[in-house]
Structure 1
């Protein structure tokens, strides 16, 4: 244990020297994370340009956060980390997600820096960078789940004078809870994608004795998901994923027949819907009897539409991501929305359901650009 502590102190002192010799500001990112053993930790990372003009990054601290995850508590930990490395005077921007606690954290951090002996003037709004991947994911949620433009406008209007999760929460509430799983009020064009009576269960027999899950409405499931419950193809796909995950017998039978794990959608895992659809389409020949032709048509169109979002998400993360690159990504995605809208407006390829989804996603992406200003600081945290 003594040797571990000595090594830690040695490496920490070396990192401190590198940070203090930086020729740029030291930009930080922070993110709360829960370990598989249910321990809450706060990762604090740094990016800077060293004396050889090479970009560098490092993990500064990874303390456990117990009992209190408030922004004020996070600010104390970040401030302590800055003092340990003696880089408060070099602090540049902070990158984080849209959680309201990040706004609170930076406000308290600014106060602490101002009250410090060096009286550092650090503007929490000017130095706030929002994760572009969260914006992309929000736009995709609107594409997949939103039922009305008016609902999105109401959510955005609610947060017109605020930032972070204070805007994000009402938006998500409308997407996930407003419909309450009630499919009776869905738009008329969604009826074209109406579920076949009996759903997946009526075509289950041909997958070699694999009993697929029924698609009868489940109140708790509907209440949790709200938006996608209006799209039968997504509802079926989600329930198949749950059915496979909940039993090793089911997953073994699926693996033997389909030979490719389907996966499961996840609200906090970017592109999880694309991966699920992609896995199913890759083995369509083996699983063609699971869904109706209308379901397959919708999933294939959705898969093609989501592909650029998958690519840009991968491009926008990691060590090589830059602000200028992210501006290009926003332009690419807005252009993608426009091109697909023209495609599905054409008479020979007209699709009201896709047009509705495109309108929802495009609306959100465009509104975020307006709310935050163009250009605005955008990047992805990499704790």
Structure 2
């Protein structure tokens, strides 16, 4: 009798297992959390599953190759679902793209779409592709023609070239060229797409450039010279070139920025020595952070953190007064920062 009860219990537990849902959950876990394919052999993961359902111990006993195939198959299924949604929506599809450089110095183009789900009637967004740039003009190059080559493939792969609405990209001149190539391509297919009116520039990028000019350029003439240097250059990386043109202004000394430049130097002083950095962090509960060319809000975060930790920064600059004598923040400068 006991054996029958045990067998019935085991059968019940096995019937409770949804194999399809479990495998899909495993795929999501691997891809979203960026786990290695051999995670299916982790004893800890098997222990967790067995604790929930003892009959499911062998549920994920899969080889590395099997996991890889499942991920690839799942990708194809989800991509096809997205393709059908994009093709069936009666509204325009709005694209955005940006270049990203990986730590291994490879350049990728991320292409995203914003659209209205025809069933749920809600705005959604999705990643269409994250493709490595071919580097036609040399390693790391990402001109408009190179980006267009990848975008064209995406439009044809998803068969959505006839639904393109607006295109959003940063102020790099290559995006102007890409939009002209897109307009020519669509014109050949009988679709009228005006590059100038359909091209949306990155507002955050524009604001960031204005703030950089405010912080780092000390005269209208210097700003005008920097702008004239990159004006009307089709492939000019506007934001990058502008930053490069104003770097000499910064190179003349961070202290010329006044209190903000001193804050930068204090943060650098902390980072130059592990003991000082850990000493401040232990006392204040966190580090100051540091401005960064590629993080547009980094100056704000540095200033905001400094003001929130003012008493600790004052303690630090008093302790290391000999090193920071020229960067010592006075009461008036603290008021200016606030």
> TM above 0.5, one fold?
yes
- For 1:180 and 1:284, the matched residues in 2 are separated by 25
1:250 CA displacement = 2.7
SS of structure 2 residue aligned to 1:104:
helix
1:243 corresponds in structure 2 to 269
2:110 corresponds in structure 1 to 43
Q: Structure 1 residues 180, 268: closer, same or farther in 2, change over 3 A?
A: closer
2:122 corresponds in structure 1 to 54
2:97 corresponds in structure 1 to 30
The reply to whether residue 108 of structure 1 matches residue 108 of structure 2 is: no
2:31 corresponds in structure 1 to none
Map 1:30-179 onto structure 2 (within 5 A). Answer: 30-51=97-118, 52-67=120-135, 68-115=141-188, 118-156=189-227, 165=236, 167-168=238-239, 171-177=242-248, 179=249
Q: Which moved more, 1:48-57 or 1:27-36?
A: 48-57
**Does the 8 Å contact 2:172/2:235 carry over to 1?**
yes
SS of structure 2 residue aligned to 1:103:
helix
Map 1:334-373 onto structure 2 (within 5 A). Answer: none
Corresponding residue to 1:13 among 77, 80, 93: 80
Q: Structure 1 residues 167, 140: closer, same or farther in 2, change over 3 A?
A: same
1:97 CA displacement = 0.8
TM-score (norm 2): 0.67
2:299 corresponds in structure 1 to 273
- For 1:104 and 1:300, the matched residues in 2 are separated by 47
SS of structure 2 residue aligned to 1:18:
helix
1:161 CA displacement = 5.5
- For 1:180 and 1:238, the matched residues in 2 are separated by 12
| Structure 2: 5+ residue stretches without partners | 1-67, 136-140, 318-326
- For 2:310 and 2:154, the matched residues in 1 are separated by 52
- For 2:273 and 2:75, the matched residues in 1 are separated by 44
The structure with the largest alpha-carbon Rg is 2
Corresponding residue to 2:289 among 249, 259, 263: 263
TM-score (norm 1): 0.60
Query: Alpha-carbon deviations, 1:289-332, whole Å to 9, x = none?
Result: 526454x54454345xxxxxxxxxxxxxxxxxxxxxxxxxxxxx
Q: Structure 1 residues 237, 135: closer, same or farther in 2, change over 3 A?
A: same
Aligned residue pairs, count = 255
SS of structure 2 residue aligned to 1:122:
coil
1:247 CA displacement = 3.9
Q: Which moved more, 1:247-256 or 1:137-146?
A: 247-256
| Structure 1: 5+ residue stretches without partners | 183-221, 223-227, 304-383
Map 1:286-365 onto structure 2 (within 5 A). Answer: 286-289=312-315, 290=317, 292-294=328-330, 297-298=332-333, 300-303=335-338
- For 1:133 and 1:300, the matched residues in 2 are separated by 28
- For 1:69 and 1:162, the matched residues in 2 are separated by 15
- For 2:234 and 2:133, the matched residues in 1 are separated by 24
- For 1:111 and 1:300, the matched residues in 2 are separated by 56
Map 1:158-237 onto structure 2 (within 5 A). Answer: 165=236, 167-168=238-239, 171-177=242-248, 179=249, 181-182=251-252, 222=253, 228-237=254-263
**Does the 8 Å contact 2:255/2:262 carry over to 1?**
no
SS of structure 1 residue aligned to 2:133:
coil
Q: Structure 1 residues 111, 24: closer, same or farther in 2, change over 3 A?
A: same
